[in-house]
A and B are shown apart, each in its own frame.
Chain A
Amino acid sequence: MRVAPTYLYDPITTSSTTTSSPTPTAWYSILGVSVSITSNVAEALQRVDETYAAFRAPASAAPHETIALHLVRLNNQDYLVSSPTDERRWPTYDHALPDLFDRLVHALLERLLARGIYAIHAGAVVHQDGALVLAGRSGHGKTTLVLGLLRRGLGLLSDEFAVVEPAARRIMPYRRSLHIRPGTPELIPELHFLHNRPRHRLGGGFEWTLTPHELERAMPGCLGQSAPLCHVLLLEGTPQTNARPAITRVPAALAAMELLRGTWAASVNFEGGLDRISRLLDGVRCARLRIGALDATVQQVASWLEQPHD
């Protein structure tokens, strides 16, 4: 049974002038951005904490710079989710929790963009000191492929966002926990232990959460460090386990367009995003990947990575 971390109950940050119990608040520092989650729903705090465990932090010394998010169960049993910009009422917890996660992500992306940091919706791994970005839509096998590559000895940067260091062309680690879907543990033997855990409704359905610490225990040495971007693979469609995997070179300009689709910052300023992504891809090898059976696909990717650049 899991116990809520005691750090959640910080009397300094939740002191109240009323006699009612303070509402618990959890604090995180995500790539230097302070985030607080306040909720009277213990399970909500647990779910968020599992996902952002690597970013736990003490209460911020600059609360006015903190992204403050709330999920509160109201007396009439509705749920109110609020962020610095607005709030929304939901009839069920299952609606409220994804909204909380979405608000956290969007607020984080906005704050990162203000600091010049781009986050591309993509997985990222390190191969021989060079970063490989794997771009594809949700549900198209990014996380499973990332895990397959980790088994091959590549290093994890992220399975959700490829975070680009400002003024450099390096991809930074983004240690958000992985959300693992049913079917993946069957393909990754190191993760069979997940079958002994409950799944929870998260952004992509009923999923397991796997913290970086747990992943490192399952696959020692799998956490990578920041690396310059050297390769981009665009994942084509959903995995076709009966099809042969195939890698087809694409022009960097096409890859730029695909990456822009997965970059929130480009929706705010397309030309700025186009400029940033274009410069990022200068000299980077780009290709499209049709995913087949996992092992064959990992082999195909590994062989492609070993080929010298043109």
Chain B
Amino acid sequence: MESEIPIRSADVTLQRVGSEAILYDRRRGLAHVINESAARIWELCDGRATQEQIAGAFAASYDLPATAVRDDVAKILAAFQELQVLDHEADAPDSTE
């Protein structure tokens, strides 16, 4: 799971509003209000970073160890999956390849 690479759906855009944000899914015609943390994680889903790398970058922005945020990041990504605002690329290539 942590080696999966979450990628933002091309049909979904993020609009910042104050300290929160709105994810607009134009394909489904749905809009979701998310908090600052979720917005930051969304922005880190750039199609290159694995879930573990996202947790690391997210933690760094709050000056925290990755272990402190790993579970929360996983929950938020799972919520994004449930909302169907993410696509998933194939797992990250094995470093031995």
Q: A257-B31, A257-B33, A274-B31 are in contact. Are A251 and B22 (CB under 8 A)?
A: no
CA distance A256 to B22 in the complex (A): 9
Stretch of A75-83, A201-209, A220-228, A275-283 with 4 or more beta carbons under 8 angstroms from chain B: A275-283
What are the residues of chain B within 8 A of A252 when measuring CB–CB? 17-20
In the bound complex, do residue B24 and residue A281 qualify as a contact, i.e. CB atoms below 8 Å apart?
A: no
Q: How close is B40's CB to chain A, nearest CB, in angstroms?
A: 14
Closest partner residue, chain B, to A254 (CB atom): B33
Residues of A within 8 A of B24 (CB): 270-271, 274
CB-CB nearest in chain A for B23: A253
Contact present for A253 and B18 (CB under 8 Å)? yes
B49 lies within 8 A of chain A by Cβ: no
Q: Is the CB of B31 within 8 A of A251?
A: no
A270-B24, A274-B24 as given contacts; A281 in contact with B17, CB under 8 Å: yes
* A interface size (C-beta, 8 A): 15
Q: Which of A251, A256, A275 contacts B19 (CB 8 A)?
A: A251
Whether A271 lies near B18 (C-beta < 8 A) is: no
Q: Across the interface, which residues of B come within 8 angstroms of A271, CB to CB?
A: 13, 15, 24, 26
Q: Nearest-CB distance from B85 to chain A (Å)? A: 15
| CB within 8 Å for A253 and B20 given contacts A275-B15, A278-B15 | yes
Measured between beta carbons, the chain B residues less than 8 angstroms from A274 are: 15, 22, 24, 31
Name the B residues within 8 Å of A275 (CB-CB).
Answer: 15
Please list the residues of chain B having a beta carbon within 8 angstroms of any beta carbon in chain A: 13, 15-22, 24, 26, 29, 31, 33-34
Tell me the complex Cα distance, A282–B34, Å: 16
Write the A183-224 contact mask toward B (1 if CB under 8 angstroms, else 0).
000000000000000000000000000000000000000000
Given A251-B33, A257-B31: A281 and B15 interface contact (C-beta under 8 Å): no
Contact across chains for A253 and B26 when beta carbons are under 8 A apart: no
Tell me how far the C-beta of A138 lies from the nearest C-beta in chain B, rounded to whole angstroms: 23
| CB<8 Å pairs between A and B, sample of 30 | A251-B18, A251-B19, A251-B20, A252-B17, A252-B18, A252-B19, A252-B20, A253-B17, A253-B20, A253-B21, A253-B22, A253-B33, A254-B20, A254-B33, A256-B22, A257-B22, A257-B31, A257-B33, A260-B31, A270-B26, A270-B29, A271-B13, A271-B24, A274-B22, A275-B15, A278-B16, A281-B17, A281-B18, A282-B18, A283-B18
Closest to A252 in B: B18
- A222 CA to B26 CA in the complex, in Å? 43
The B-contacting residues of A in range 220-272, CB under 8 angstroms, are 251-254, 256-257, 260, 270-271
Contacts of A260 in B (CB 8 A): 31
Contact partners of B34 in chain A: CB under 8 A: 253
Which residues of chain A are near B13, meaning CB under 8 Å? Answer: 271
Report chain A residues within 8 Å CB of B22. 253, 256-257, 274, 278
Name the CB-closest residue of A to B16.
A278
Task: Please measure, in the bound complex, the distance between the C-alpha atom of A271 and the C-alpha atom of B22, giving whole angstroms.
Answer: 11
Kindly state the separation between the CA atoms of A12 and B26 in the bound complex, as whole angstroms. Answer: 50
Distance A254 CA – B15 CA, assembled complex (angstroms): 12
Task: Quote the shortest CB–CB distance from A140 to chain B (angstroms).
Answer: 22
Give min CB distance, B97 to chain A, whole Å. Answer: 40
Give the residue name and chain of the A residue nearest to B21 (CB). Answer: A253
